[in-house]
Amino acid sequence: MNDQGPLLTRGVRWSLAGLGLVLLAALVLGFVVLPSVKPDFREAGWWQAICRAAGVPTRWYEAGAMDDPGASRVPVVPDFTRVAGGDVGRGGTLALQCTMCHGARGVSASDVPNLAGQYAEVVFKQMLDYRNGQRRHALMQALATSLSEQDIRDLAAFYAQLPRPSPNPQQARVPALVDVGSPLRGIAPCASCHGGIDQKPGSPWLEGMPRAYLEAQMEAFAIGERRNDAHGVMRNVARQMTAAEVVDTASYYASRRVPFSPTAPGR
Ligand code: HEC
Ligand code: HEC
């Protein structure tokens, strides 16, 4: 009987120490280990880190934290612009508003994305997303708002038939993510959506795009600043990429065109 007092206190002491250890391990895991292996943990801020560590579904806290523009409202159907008949001639006239930045032949000399040879459904969807506010960019949003849906169809048809920038004949080293993906992380090869192996409707043609633009878009997807991708397909990829992989894949795609020269014909 006499022994029970000290025994109980010792038991309580042990369980308290155990609890403390578990708590410490959880804190280290949630705030030190996970943020260091997943870059978007750090950028997303403490509130999201806490929510995520607690297993709260993403949409519960992302919506409030970031003034959610909502999911894209544009259904992605292959070739729907061709089916619906965009007018290339009319598109060419409308495109005079775009040449200043996207280049006279849809190939940009600066860090603006190329439009030449871009899949019509991609241009159509992105323009509508800018117009509806699901993709944010002050300039493109203002421009898109001034265009009718038919204008956008015509522009998409016009850009789709322009020749893509000449492919670089030099064989570049293909990053593993591009043609194999990362099965362990559940990342499908980029080329299985973006062309090369296969093209999934709505996935832009990336070859020859400016490196800085590609990097910026992947980073924006990774931190959820851009989220007009249907079902988060691209966010799920970008979130899992390391900074080095972003640079590597962006450099690869950017290198897939003959370097820009202002004197080259047709530019
Ligand atoms: C003043 C410069 C400027 C003008 C003019 C301009 N754009 Fe853009 N455009 C940009 C920039 C910069 C981006 C990248 C924006 C971003 O980061 O979301 C862009 C992005 C786009 C995209 C998305 C491309 C992709 O691969 O996702 C499309 C489509 C587009 N523009 C079409 C047009 C069309 C059509 C016009 C003419 C009606 C036009 N733009 C006029 C600067 C411009
Ligand atoms: C499962 C299909 C899929 C895979 C795999 C995929 N992407 Fe994407 N990606 C998309 C889609 C769809 C979009 C367009 C989203 C939208 O509607 O705005 C996109 C958009 C992008 C953009 C923005 C381009 C632009 O002009 O707006 C970049 C950059 C990009 N992906 C890079 C990559 C890289 C690099 C990989 C490989 C590591 C990859 N993607 C793997 C489907 C995919």
Q: State the sign of the Cα–Cα–Cα–Cα dihedral 178, 184, 185, 188.
A: positive
Residue-number span of the structural domain to which 44 is assigned: 22-68
Give the position, in ligand 2's atom list, of the atom nearest the Cα of 129.
18
Q: Give the range among 104-108, 121-125, 260-264 with minimum mean pLDDT.
A: 260-264
**Whether 125 and 193 share a structural domain:** no
**Whether 151 and 198 share a structural domain:** no
Specify the DSSP element, H or E, that contains 211.
Answer: helix 211-222
Q: Is the pLDDT of residue 48 over 70?
A: no
Which band of pLDDT confidence, cut at 50, 70 and 90, is reported for residue 1? Answer: very low
User: Does residue 85 lie in a domain region?
Assistant: yes
User: Does residue 168 lie in a domain region?
Assistant: no
Residue closest by Cα to atom 42 of ligand 1: 101
Q: Which residues line ligand 1 (CB under 6 A)?
A: 97-98, 100-102, 112-113, 115, 123, 126-127, 135, 137, 139-140, 143, 155, 204
Average pLDDT value for residue range 210-222: 98
Q: Which of 110, 140, 219, 229 for a ligand 1 pocket mutation test, highest count of atoms within 8 Å of Cβ?
A: 140
Interior/surface letters 112-143, b for 16+ CB within 10 angstroms, e for the rest = bbbbbbbbbbbbbbbbbbbbbebbeeeebbeb
User: Does residue 13 lie in a domain region?
Assistant: no
Determine the pLDDT at residue 265. 46
Which band of pLDDT confidence, cut at 50, 70 and 90, is reported for residue 42? Answer: very low
**Structural domain count, the chain:** 3
User: Does residue 12 lie in a domain region?
Assistant: no
User: Does residue 2 lie in a domain region?
Assistant: no
pLDDT tens for each residue of 13-28: 888 787 878 777 776 6
**Whether 197 and 246 share a structural domain:** yes
**Whether 156 and 184 share a structural domain:** no
Cβ-Cβ contacts under 8 Å for 107 (sequence gap 6 or more) = 114, 116, 165, 208, 260, 267
User: Does residue 210 lie in a domain region?
Assistant: yes
The CATH number that applies at residue 148 is 1.10.760.10
**Whether 108 and 146 share a structural domain:** yes
Cα(225)–Cα(218) distance, integer angstroms? 10
Cα(201)–Cα(267) distance, integer angstroms? 28
Determine the pLDDT at residue 9. 77
User: Does residue 16 lie in a domain region?
Assistant: no
**Whether 184 and 249 share a structural domain:** yes
User: Does residue 117 lie in a domain region?
Assistant: yes
Average pLDDT value for residue range 191-198: 94
Q: Which residues pair with 257 in a beta bridge?
A: 167
Q: Is the pLDDT of residue 62 over 60?
A: no
Determine the pLDDT at residue 33. 62
Average pLDDT along the chain: 84
Give the residue among 41, 37, 38, 39 at the shortest CA–CA distance from 50.
41
Determine the pLDDT at residue 138. 96
**Whether 180 and 112 share a structural domain:** no
**Whether 120 and 184 share a structural domain:** no
**Whether 197 and 149 share a structural domain:** no
Cα(228)–Cα(225) distance, integer angstroms? 9
Burial class (CB in 10 A: 0-12, 13-18, 19+), 230: middle
